[in-house]
A and B are shown apart, each in its own frame.
Chain A
């Protein structure tokens, strides 16, 4: 199938906002929405009443804080009633899918000013309850029922990958070390400290070969963006960032049903469509936000996104090319590992970071110089939903 089937107009991002990510025991779900949305509205230079549609990604308000109906809650608390407000869900890709929906709403010509966001409050429940909620992102009948967990599934992927491509344990740890380095300069990051390969590989074993420091944390957080038609963007801001493509692909929910577990076919599919729509190739991308829920996921993502051939991503880490200043800076905000993974928020948080990078507004030390194009990859579950977004100046 050829994409796009029909696009009426281009879309621009004119405002961004993110809460601090982390264990936000001081803020409730609705207060986190406020912390992200108000800066986004202020950044866009609009008023709340200008917003015509609100779309928020949220994976499991019900299991995490006993709150469903999150769309209306956010519109209510932000004083936006009676604006239509919708919550969308695609596990950890909920935020990316919210952006996709907002993009459709503006690109189709139906809405002019749309607030898209993502939000999750995960630390109000003990970690076993949070794990249970996250397990809902896999095939509950054929995976979760038999005791699978996400660290377990990604450990299988890591074992296979390390066997097939001779990836070393140390190189895998470099993913976390690099993301912590970037996170240490991001005041909104969950973890703002550096780590080392030694520390990562001696952290407690979770699911062999993945250790605690290979896994992203459970976080609270929210992010928000304001979308308008590209031709109206200059009315609001001198630094609009354009959505060159926003694509979604799906795959088998269960890992064991896939032909190859060391590649996420949905990432390949969504990114191929995104490059075609944006009329860009991987070499044009200056900064990447990859979904590093586990260290192995970032390695596989860079290959599936077409930056290197299968089995070769390890070399980028051995040579330090994924740091700011390297050939392919990845997760300049600390990614999920250090930046935090508030599941429903992540897809939006990634693109907020790209906008910051493209505007040149990132903190000292983690600003990619002269970034023109950025790409975000947001994964739901073990890859059954993938959203790829390319933004440009």
Chain B
């Protein structure tokens, strides 16, 4: 693109118009079809902490019926961060795995790093700068933390797409990572988990081309955490219909309309996974068979990793997808909005995905802990100087 810009200056106005339109059409819109943004994922990586706590263990402490929660949420266990793990360390681990899958990308060639999270260790002091430093991307880059509940990182992928496709940077990295907070005894406690995923966006050697993206946003008070509050609060069942389903379903339908695609055009679909029931129901509402969703459904074994949720699900699909297959991903962030993506897997996937551990590795790598240990690891004991 920089080459094109330089050329334009030496052309007549008519020629400039012609060229601008030619490239505009090529880059941004093709009649009635899929976008050709010419950008895609060049590397991806995930990280999930080793500790797990079972739903039954939490239910035992509160005197809840474990079957109600296990079956109601479709979740067996959730990941728990270790005492020295936080969003920054999870983001770094995921970023390193993403770089392993993109050996052609020198870290200092990454022009933008964004970390989307609800649990940045600092209210003021960017996680993104820590990650950039740790992976050797500093100092010539832009970096920022983003916040949009659980979809902060998919919004950042869109920002990277803009910066890359415009030629402003060569590579951008978006990371979604969380050590999700939940008030003890709240229904959220059964699912709020820890984990993250990193995606490198670029133009060459892409493993999945991003064909199209569409977003859907409205001001909806379904789930929130005010500044200074320790735990998020939510509006119970209101988080369902007017929150998750309104946005996930309409955003996905919007994407399909924009891209001229129908449910049967997709080989896999990933939706934000606050529990196992919501994404499956959303798929049914959209008309996508459940066996296209289940391969990316990781929530039963790791819980809801908030900003990492849909992106770890996407990684689980990239771990198994074949070249030429099309993947749908729709994130959801309370407050509320969704970002929907259509991805086309390329030949490059075969050689690259072997370069870092798959999602399955992290799901299987686990050690169970009891509730007291969980409280220790989450630093929730009062009066203890950790």
For the complex, is B235 an interface residue (Cβ under 8 Å from A)?
yes
User: Which of the residues A123, A126, A204 comes within 8 Å of B68, measured between beta carbons?
Assistant: A204
Tally of B interface residues using CB under 8 Å: 9
A126 to B237, CA, bound (A): 8
Q: Across the interface, which residues of A come within 8 angstroms of B242, CB to CB?
A: 25
CA distance A205 to B235 in the complex (A): 22
Residue of B nearest to A126 (CB): B236
A23 to B65 alpha-carbon distance, docked (Å): 26
Tell me the complex Cα distance, A23–B241, Å: 10
Q: CB of B23 within 8 A of chain A?
A: no
CB contacts (< 8 Å) of B236 on chain A: these are: 126-127
* Complex alpha-carbon distance, A126 and B238, angstroms: 9
CA distance A204 to B242 in the complex (A): 25
**B contact residues around A126 at 8 Å (CB):** 235-236
Could you tell me the dominant secondary structure of chain B's interface residues? helix
Q: Which residues of B are found within 8 Å of A25, using beta-carbon distances? A: 238, 241-242
Binding site for A on B (CB under 8 A): 65, 68, 72, 235-238, 241-242
A168-223 residues at the B interface, CB under 8 angstroms: 204-205
What is the CA–CA distance of A212 and B254 in the complex, to the nearest angstrom?
37
Q: Find chain B residues with CB under 8 A from A23 CB.
A: 237-238, 241
A123, A204, A205: the one within 8 Å of B238 (CB): A123
Residues of chain A within 8 A of B68, CB atoms compared = 204
User: How many whole Å from A210's CB to the nearest CB in chain B?
Assistant: 14
* Closest A residue to B236 using CB positions: A126
A25–B235 CA distance with the chains assembled, in angstroms: 12
Residue from A123, A127, A204 within 8 A of B65 (CB atoms): A204
Contacts of B235 in A (CB 8 A): 126
Across-interface contacts of B241 in A (CB, < 8 A): 23, 25
Q: Which residue of A lies closest to B72 (CB)?
A: A204
What residues of B have a CB within 8 angstroms of the CB of A127 in the complex? Answer: 236-237
Q: How far is the CA of A126 from the CA of B65 in the complex (A)?
A: 21
Chain A residue nearest in CB terms to B68: A204
Bound: A127/B239 CA distance, A: 13
A–B pairs, 5, beta carbons within 8 Å: A25-B242, A123-B238, A126-B236, A127-B236, A204-B65
Contact with B along A1-43 (1 / 0, CB 8 A): 0000000000000000000000101000000000000000000
Min distance, Cβ A20 to any Cβ of chain B, angstroms: 14
- Cα A127 to Cα B236 with chains together (Å): 7
A127→B65 CA distance, assembly (Å): 19
Residues of B within 8 Å of A205, CB to CB, are 65
For the complex, give the distance between the alpha carbons of A336 and B361 in Å: 50
CB distance from B67 to the nearest CB of A (A): 8
